[in-house]
Structure 1
């Protein structure tokens, strides 16, 4: 079982829509494999997409799952952990798993979902308090950081791939996701803040390039290493939302070239942090999905099964050209080919 976290500490990089399209396409092209999607984001946008999108009741379906007893969500599972934070309780994993295909038939049957939950923000306060508690003979931080690992241990053998959609922050629930991941997918855009986000990843995940040595003892990497736990490795950097105007003479070209050169230098300095040793093997260019992406997002619809032509979006009629849909699908296939 391979576990991916999709993360960037900069918001707005198209992380959730990319995750939705890549996961649903991977499931479609690999029908013999079982996939588990875990939405570790308080906004739970990926869950809404998988459960139908805005136009097909995704929000209402998500609220219904969160309204069950126990809550059928990541928040429901974390609720079960709060009374016994440092040792896994006896729980039924199926209580927290949803089958999206029941609600959204455009999603393959081989995908299962643990829904996101706004409770995560409130729970993060409790998690931090518990993780910093001083108890003799107990590594309280590891006790909390292993919550999701404990869940995956329970279902190990049932799934081939796990995809975790994360929040841009590096809060406790994001660290819990990273701690049980094998690989990281990092979506970036052609801007300087995305370029800095790659550098930030090395500070936050790996404890490298810190502004001061005083922070070293507090880093995620230091705590994981002290407990003998492996860190996830960066597997893919997706240059997202490129457009046809980003040619060699464009203002974006310098940023994109800078991302390549930064990546090359990081691989040279920290080869153990990557699953690849040549930048081209870990880079994918994805053009802006534009109207095609907006319609797919609203409908909770993978590109591979999305109709084209004049479509209804709310009270509006929009045009989705077949050639644009096919270009978007081709870009997603490029991502899927590297998973």
Structure 2
């Protein structure tokens, strides 16, 4: 199963959700891969993986670059995958080089290469999560073409149901053109304050319009998330008993209703 965490708006918590869902998945026993497709590399940094600490030429940018040229072909993708310090959790890390590579990949129509790479890795992993840039660019489209399911983070601060309509329009167009199997798994409400009126109104509006399923789990706003980033340690390892950690575990079970501990 390949899931992409996507929203074309920035600041909605894509990287935080990608990393923590992947970490919970791994902690539950699934062999899990996190793919960082954002040039900023926030997910990689969150897991304590910096490009200068990696062997040269071993990022997702290097993997995609190998497909360019007269003799460009997809190399063995597992050589670009790195173990993290957390059991069952591996990373295909980002690189700033993604920015300079995007135009060339797009011009040469390499938009299916990530899909091909992840298909080659499917036997090694039970779950694959993909973190995406905050726009509908080449890399986001590549991730959506490669994925089976989409998780849409919704931040109640300044976001609107109309934005979800626009996002779903883009997803449906891409589904029709490139990936007929793609399914919007649901919207996850992030930074939720149950005591505030506006978040309640926004969630009610989403539920009423019924454009896309809404996960029952709400992710609360908490300083523990900031601490988790600073410590470069996912919540399930940093604070297993924290309320927000419990919410990520609840969200995992919504995604994996048939999960049974080994």
TM-score (norm 2): 0.89
**1:237–1:284 CA contact under 8 A, matched in 2:** no
Take 2:38 and 2:202, find their aligned partners in 1: how far apart are those partners? 29
Take 1:10 and 1:84, find their aligned partners in 2: how far apart are those partners? 36
**Equivalent residues in 2 for 1:198-209, closer than 5 Å:** 198-207=164-173
C-alpha change, 1:288 and 1:122, in structure 2 (3 Å) is: same
Determine whether 1:328 maps to 2:247: no
Take 1:14 and 1:153, find their aligned partners in 2: how far apart are those partners? 27
Offset, 1:99: 0.6
Alignment-derived partner of residue 203 in structure 2: 256
**2:228–2:235 CA contact under 8 A, matched in 1:** yes
From 74, 78, 103, give the equivalent of 1:94.
78
Take 2:186 and 2:245, find their aligned partners in 1: how far apart are those partners? 18
C-alpha change, 1:63 and 1:195, in structure 2 (3 Å) is: farther
Take 1:34 and 1:84, find their aligned partners in 2: how far apart are those partners? 35
Alignment-derived partner of residue 38 in structure 2: 41
Aligned-residue Cα RMSD (Å) equals 2.1
Alignment-derived partner of residue 72 in structure 1: 58
Gapped regions of structure 1 (runs ≥ 5) = 52-57, 102-106, 132-143, 208-219, 268-278, 308-321
**1:179–1:231 CA contact under 8 A, matched in 2:** no
C-alpha change, 1:84 and 1:5, in structure 2 (3 Å) is: farther
**Equivalent residues in 2 for 1:234-253, closer than 5 Å:** 234-246=184-196, 250-253=197-200
**DSSP 3-state at the match of 1:113:** strand
Take 2:200 and 2:152, find their aligned partners in 1: how far apart are those partners? 19
Alignment-derived partner of residue 274 in structure 1: none
**1:97–1:114 CA contact under 8 A, matched in 2:** yes
C-alpha change, 1:283 and 1:122, in structure 2 (3 Å) is: farther
Offset, 1:156: 2.7
**DSSP 3-state at the match of 2:39:** coil
Offset, 1:223: 3.0
Alignment-derived partner of residue 159 in structure 1: 125
C-alpha change, 1:242 and 1:192, in structure 2 (3 Å) is: same
Take 1:40 and 1:93, find their aligned partners in 2: how far apart are those partners? 15
> Who wins on radius of gyration, i.e. which is larger?
1
Offset, 1:62: 2.9
Alignment-derived partner of residue 125 in structure 1: 103
TM-score (norm 1): 0.70
Number of equivalences:
255
Take 1:334 and 1:122, find their aligned partners in 2: how far apart are those partners? 39
**DSSP 3-state at the match of 2:66:** helix
C-alpha change, 1:121 and 1:196, in structure 2 (3 Å) is: farther
Take 2:164 and 2:216, find their aligned partners in 1: how far apart are those partners? 13
From 177, 199, 207, give the equivalent of 1:223.
177
Offset, 1:164: 0.4
Gapped regions of structure 2 (runs ≥ 5) = 256-262
Offset, 1:194: 4.2
Determine whether 1:286 maps to 2:219: yes
Offset, 1:196: 2.9
**DSSP 3-state at the match of 2:4:** strand
Take 1:222 and 1:305, find their aligned partners in 2: how far apart are those partners? 40
